[in-house]
Amino acid sequence: MEGGTVQLKPVIFCDFDGTVTKKDNIVSIMKRFAPKEWEQLKDGVLSQSISIQEGVGKMFALLPSSLKGDIIHYILETAEIREGFHDFVHYAKNMNIPLYIVSGGIDFFIKPLLQPFDSITALFCNKADFSGETITIHWPYTCDEKCPNQNCGCCKPTIIRQIANADTHSIIIGDSVTDLEAAKIADTVIARDYLSKKCQEFSIPYQSFETFYDCIDILEKTINKTNFIEEKGGAK
């Protein structure tokens, strides 16, 4: 602290499905491989009439474990990384800003897609178990006592609270209902699609993006107007 002003360290918490990738990969997988029952589960999650954990768990339980290889191949062939993400990862590294991917998606398709981006600080996501007849999802990052939902699956606000401290300026980038509780506690929200609508509904200040070049521009402006800690080769 200098002159009574707290110096802050920016930390990025970025969603994956529909944010890093152009489309939600769970939706893509279900459209391609699941029986029609998945649609009612999806609608329940989006309307928040059922929890994310319950909805996603039941969706994957519709799929035989034997489809693992086919699903991975399909995602690697069809998923598109959003424009500018490669440069965004390098920007965060060059500015010494930690970049966490925090996703309600599943490890078995996220990790192969993120393999080229080796400077990401860490990945938090749900895990798939293929040992049974159908796919089972495990939830290693469950809600703390402060989360109002208690069934997020991968609880983004809990992860933020575990990593952030009083000197952190938390930056959320996301697109969906899974990012809403995180947006409520973030210092800066960068949103698109469904999350933008929810931010408007809950009067959460946010900035819109379509590409990660937009995110770089927003971060540049945020860095210029916020008292960030100056680090060697990094941001102020």
Pick the more confident residue, 212 or 8: 212
What is the per-residue pLDDT across 41-67, written as a single tens digit (0 to 9) for each? 999 988 889 998 999 999 999 999 999
Pick the more confident residue, 227 or 92: 92
236 has a pLDDT exceeding 60: no
Q: What is the mean pLDDT of residues 170-187?
A: 95
Q: What strands lie across the sheet with 136-138, from one edge to the other? A: 136-138, 122-129, 99-106, 9-14, 168-174, 188-191, 207-208
| pLDDT for res 204 | 98
Q: What is the mean pLDDT of residues 69-73?
A: 98
Q: What is the mean pLDDT of residues 105-123?
A: 97
Distances (CA, A) of 71 to 30, 136, 187: 10, 15, 36
Alpha carbon 124 to chain centroid distance? Answer: 9
**Structural domains of the chain sorted by starting position, each given as residue range(s) with its CATH number in brackets:** 9-225 (3.40.50.1000)
pTM for the whole thing?
Answer: 0.90
What is the per-residue pLDDT across 5-34, written as a single tens digit (0 to 9) for each? 668 899 999 999 999 999 999 999 999 999
* Three-state DSSP state, 80: coil
Q: What is the mean pLDDT of residues 155-180?
A: 94
| pLDDT for res 214 | 99
